[in-house]
Amino acid sequence: MKKNKIFAGILVILVFMLNSCSDKEEKKQNSAEISVSQEMTAELTAPPNVPRPIGRRKAKKLIVDMEILEKEGTMTDGTTYVYWTFGGSVPGSFIRTRVGDEVEFTLSNHPDNKLPHNIDLHAVTGPGGGATSSFVAPGHEKTFSFKTLNPGLYVYHCATAPVGMHIANGMYGLILVEPEGGLPPVDKEYYVMQGDFYTKGENGEPGLQQFDMQKAVDEDADYVVFNGSVGSLTGDNAITANVGETVRLFVGNGGPNLVSSFHVIGEIFDNVYMEGGMKMNHDVQTTLVPAGGAAIVEFRVDVPGTFILVDHSIFRAFNKGALGMLKVTGDEAKTIYSGTKQEGIYLPEGGGIQTMPDDGKVKTETASTDKTLEEKMESGKQIYMNTCFACHQAEGQGIPKAFPPLAKSDYLNADVNRAIGIVLNGKTGEITVNGEVYNSVMTRQSLSADEVADVMTYIYNSWDNNKTNVTKAQVEQVKSGH
């Protein structure tokens, strides 16, 4: 009797699986047979914007024209990089289609570009996802067509050898294939895509940086960012919503190497279309987005404030750039959240590696060319924004009860050498600044003598401080203990 029940259970499962496979094949066949009678030009958008929803429109012949551009852009303040792009942005232009569309895709390679490229769209059923039909030299264009058979959110990327290099330089984006009848309506939609970058210089090193193949092979990323650069979704670039609105994020991961643990601090995803398909999960805190994969997340914003988008492999967020902001405005909802907000604390800390205070001596450096005060201020501001900003804030105001102010600081201005020593060696324990007691930890900053001199000069010449011009020799003297 027991064996019969087990056998019957297995039989039910097999029948269900066979029916499920049959249903999927039937749906795919039905998609292939959907006829198109009209033609329209696709609306393409740069991140974080997305084209208008498909809604209930019928399948059409969809004309997609995309241009490849190799162009210099900003990776972070003071650091630039030559990106290879689809449509001039990283990630590339967002493409929005529906099941049954016949997409006529023209890929143009700008004549000023140096390299041939192609495109592999994961939404394509066909050799190379279109790559075999779209290999195009600078100054030329290629056209091919495909039928959208499967609904979902799909990655596209360049597949020209060496494939990893082309993806690592920014050649990826998302194409959405909506189901018949469209996705359920929401109030706000945004396009967010993660990527990892590998540069000859370390994180935050100024100037034009070149791609480093060995770092890429070793998966040793200098930057892990949303939408192509550090700060692309922070400050004035933050995405926005109002209390009570529903937000849908189309989240992709171009890689080329790292998996994303996508999380929004202070929110829970009501719905997650797992791996960009049509299967939905609910009440999710963090969702994995594989390299070359995607997910759709939806949630309702119930309280105002700044909600932080991160890769929860958390050092990538605070030290390599995988961080964004969703700014929500509207009335408080005290029954949901009554705590005190602190805006601005969750910002990239840059590439400066920090350690706890110790008594170790730092190796003395060789002398370098003297800088003007203007040059030191420019360099010092960049260092400050990369390493000090999160705790001490943009105007040196600090964070009440947590981190002391640097602006108009009696403690800072009273003893320059003491302040230099704190930057070099860190500090723990109580200090009194402008009449307020603080008891926190200042980590030792791994900065060169030149960098310490520059950032201290910037601080002392800002925010009504005493205008000391800190020299490299002064920093080295403090290092040596004299």
Residues in the annotated binding site for Cu cation: 117, 122, 157-158, 166, 171, 312
Please report, for residues 10, 72, 75, 255, 297, the alpha-carbon distance to residue 226 in angstroms, rounded to integers and kept in the order given.
46, 17, 11, 11, 16
Torsion of CA 380, 383, 384, 388, to 10 degrees: -150
Number of helices (H), then strands (E), belonging to the chain: the values are 11, 25
Binding residues: 117, 122, 157-158, 166, 171, 312
Q: How many Å apart are CA 428 and CA 422, to the nearest integer?
A: 9
Contact 192, 324 (CB under 8 A): yes
Q: How many Å apart are CA 376 and CA 356, to the nearest integer?
A: 27
Read off the tokens for 161: 């050898």
Contact 68, 107 (CB under 8 A): yes
Instruction: Find how far residue 16's CA is from the centre of its chain.
Output: 41
Q: Provide the residue type at 175 as one letter.
A: I
- Decide: helix, strand or coil at residue 469: coil
Neighbours of 408 (CB within 10 A): 15
Neighbours of 305 (CB within 10 A): 19
Residue (of 130, 147, 17, 150) closest to 66 by Cα position: 130
Q: Where are the beta strands (DSSP E) in 285-416?
A: 286-289, 293-300, 305-311, 323-329, 354-355
Question: What phi, psi does 180 have (nearest 5°)?
Answer: -60, 130
Q: How many Å apart are CA 284 and CA 270, to the nearest integer?
A: 7
Q: How many Å apart are CA 257 and CA 430, to the nearest integer?
A: 44
Which stretches of 43-84 are DSSP H helices? none
Residue (of 231, 244, 248, 256) closest to 329 by Cα position: 244
Q: How many Å apart are CA 226 and CA 48, to the nearest integer?
A: 10
Angle of helix 449-460 versus helix 373-387 axis, rounded to 10? 100
Q: How many Å apart are CA 37 and CA 395, to the nearest integer?
A: 59
Q: Where are the beta strands (DSSP E) in 87-170?
A: 95-98, 102-109, 120-121, 141-147, 152-157
Torsion of CA 139, 145, 146, 148, to 10 degrees: 90
Q: How many Å apart are CA 211 and CA 216, to the nearest integer?
A: 9
Q: How many Å apart are CA 269 and CA 281, to the nearest integer?
A: 9
